[in-house]
A and B are shown apart, each in its own frame.
Chain A
Amino acid sequence: MTKEYEFTLKYKLPGQEYDADKLAAELYENGCDDALIGIGVAGKIALEFVREATSAEVAILSAHQDVLNLLPEATLIEAMPDYVGLTDIAEIVAVSRQQVRKLYENNAGFPAPLHEGKSGLWHLAETLNWIEQNKSYSFDPLVMEVAKINLELNLASRAKPSSTKLISNYTSNSQVIKEYLVTTSATFSAKQALSSTAEVA
């Protein structure tokens, strides 16, 4: 059974010489017609997906692959939501920011922030996991599923060469992507790209 997974992939393009209009149209035509594409920042592109798939893993990895098929040199800035502040967390669990701040300040077990400054940053999956175990707040389980995969993908895509094994697992995870291609009307170019990555492997 498929579900609708919502997530945003943001990329840095390998140069400024892109015709953003044309690029967006090409992405729409090559598998990303279930995204809304933002082109308001030069040298970057953001795709807000609502993708139907059997799991968040299939949805997110196949979407990432769709983009890389067209833009193999693009760098994933972030699969979102993953890095979040207290306001974002509050919105997702539908309580006030103040309540989330209290959770953080009054509970030694609350996940440690990744960054603390004017505002703090956490991994959404880690905080939802803690909230799920310690509080009765309710939130969409699909958001949790997406946040977990985003966390893994973000860590893997920024890992240093010593961790390339993880990266290759993610960028050429053909099993997962094949599964997606079977369940949707896959584009020829996507299949072609898969077979070429299989040869390299």
Chain B
Amino acid sequence: MTRLRHSKKEVEEAIRYAEQNNWRVEVGGSHAWGKMYCPINDKDCRCGEFCITSINSTPRNAVTHAKQIRRVVDKCKHQQSTREEG
């Protein structure tokens, strides 16, 4: 799949991690770098506001921004598995 890469290596890697976990990534608009959409994103989803996460093109700290993106994905995964366990 071709899409524009994020200019910060760490952030780009985190975005790929999100994609590997079935998050849909949308680049562009005229504003932030882009957005990522949780694969569930329905009324039962518990990501809440982070079901759609805005990705900054120029974060103050790319490593931290990347870490936060991964955490959103992991939290969502965790909640999916918790739900499957019932």
Could you tell me which A residues sit within 8 Å of B by CB distance? 4, 10, 20-22, 24-26, 28, 33-34, 36-41, 44-46, 48, 50
In this complex, how many residues of chain B approach chain A with their Cβ under 8 Å: the count is 26
Q: Are A36's CB and B53's CB within 8 A?
A: yes
In the bound complex, how far is the Cα of B47 from the Cα of A39, in angstroms?
Answer: 11
Determine the main DSSP class of A at the interface with B.
mixed
Give 26 CB contacts A-B under 8 Å: A10-B49, A21-B32, A21-B35, A22-B31, A28-B32, A33-B56, A36-B50, A36-B53, A36-B54, A36-B56, A36-B65, A36-B69, A37-B32, A37-B56, A38-B51, A38-B53, A39-B49, A39-B53, A40-B38, A40-B47, A40-B52, A41-B49, A46-B49, A48-B68, A50-B61, A50-B67
Residues of B within 8 A of A39 (CB): 35, 49, 52-54
Q: Are A38's CB and B54's CB within 8 A?
A: yes
- In the complex formed, the residue of A with least CB distance to B26 is A21
Known: A34-B60, A37-B53, A38-B51. 6 other contacts (CB 8 A): A36-B69, A36-B72, A38-B50, A40-B53, A41-B49, A46-B49
In the assembled complex, the CB of A58 is this many whole angstroms from the nearest CB of chain B, namely 16
- In the complex formed, the residue of B with least CB distance to A40 is B51
Q: Are B32's CB and A25's CB within 8 A?
A: yes
Verify if B64 is at the interface (C-beta below 8 Å from A): yes
Residues of A within 8 A of B29 (CB): 21
Complex interface bits, B30-69 against A, C-beta within 8 A gives 1, otherwise 0: 0110010010010000011111111011111100110111
- In the complex formed, the residue of B with least CB distance to A31 is B60
Residues of A within 8 A of B60 (CB): 33-34
Q: Are A34's CB and B52's CB within 8 A?
A: no
In the bound complex, how far is the Cα of B49 from the Cα of A20, in angstroms?
Answer: 11
In the bound complex, how far is the Cα of B26 from the Cα of A20, in angstroms?
Answer: 14
In the assembled complex, the CB of B19 is this many whole angstroms from the nearest CB of chain A, namely 17
With known contacts A21-B54, A33-B59, A34-B60, A40–B32 Cβ distance under 8 A: no
Q: Are A38's CB and B64's CB within 8 A?
A: no
In the bound complex, how far is the Cα of B33 from the Cα of A36, in angstroms?
Answer: 12
Residues of A within 8 A of B41 (CB): 40
In the bound complex, how far is the Cα of B4 from the Cα of A130, in angstroms?
Answer: 50
